[in-house]
Chains A and B, each alone.
Chain A
């Protein structure tokens, strides 16, 4: 897969940034408007998947690798757990340590916003990783990154 026609590539160049930005917006405003970490993460993954579809497999191998997606996925999950453990250090597992703030302001709702960011990273990277795995490891024998018996 060498990517699609120049029309698609150019359109993707124009649009992909906005899609990713919209995903980030949904993640960051998750505690005030409908959406949140999961929905925003899906949009993020959609934007990245569009780039891979338009620019082809080679691009996916170089810039947006499966390994990077896996690492980001783990980091997102660990961030979420870290937020929970910070609460644990402050008294109760998952308790809120940040100021609650004023309803409707961006910096409010305590740990919900950081949790949304962690979930956004996790879901975006996870879904994108699934997409890349399906797109790139499509050919038989390419799936050697999991536990094949050696020798």
Chain B
């Protein structure tokens, strides 16, 4: 690559947001040069199946490639990491020493699995799940029938992995620092439903417990030491402690970025350390942290599939529009998960909810719809095999409908209001604090 090439639009990130953003640029009429840089060697692939079908052995990790919706006519630089950004000269530098000039930059670098940094991080048999390679490696380890799988972290990925391992008939332990699985996302009240599923499936769930250290023999993990003093004999550990964002190249260039994300304005434009938007740099997907108008302009990153697409398309529209004609990105977070035979779907952000109302079904039947409220408004809803009315609750979140909902639904007259049981905000929650956590682990 020479520095002499015509500067066009450069997309950094070769996954879902990068691909859909690039396609939206072409759909939006952009015909100039388009470069897509990705740090993995593979063309864009779909991640949701990695922690489900791929681990189960139902789908090959290599068969997850994303469908292309538009002829991109782009220059692909795969297997290349961006290491530098010069915002004045408008050029990025790659790890191989080459440079790519840009007119506009779309940062869609996603997030990376948080690694195990405490004792035992060097041992074989310790896995994370984020990439195709991660999933392929973990799948082959599971296929060789480990004596016991230990999963660290009871978030979505940890729970899906536990579900998958129990389906495979593998003895499984899940250690969670919270009182119930999914507590951070949905609260312990709903999380306890999953805890019940785990118990029925024979998963050994350890609540409110930390893993202090992993111990090995001959370079391979054999045991985990827990904070309650006990130990678990295990030959396969899955670290599912959430994600961090590699944004060093952005913060070094004077942008407001850390391991929690790259801060943007409402139009998805990256902010510099003075808090001013850089008119040529946009962000989308897991890496983007932007003020969400649905939640009082609270800065939010959304690590879900739907947001990657929607935000990338939105950023692409703004890239192609005049700086005086930028649209604010309004997005209601949503995700789905399948685990223990249950289809979980959510809309909104339950974070900080003070109460939850069971509007359909019941927790005991494991089939229900729960609505979350904060300061008298509806802020989120989650369904366990009961997604039928979810779009209506999404609408009620958008219009900040009052909470609790008025009883009298056609399929259930009563509304039970319960404490959602969110753990106290941990020191580590949020962007700045995750930096702190890394420091603590280091």
A binds B: no
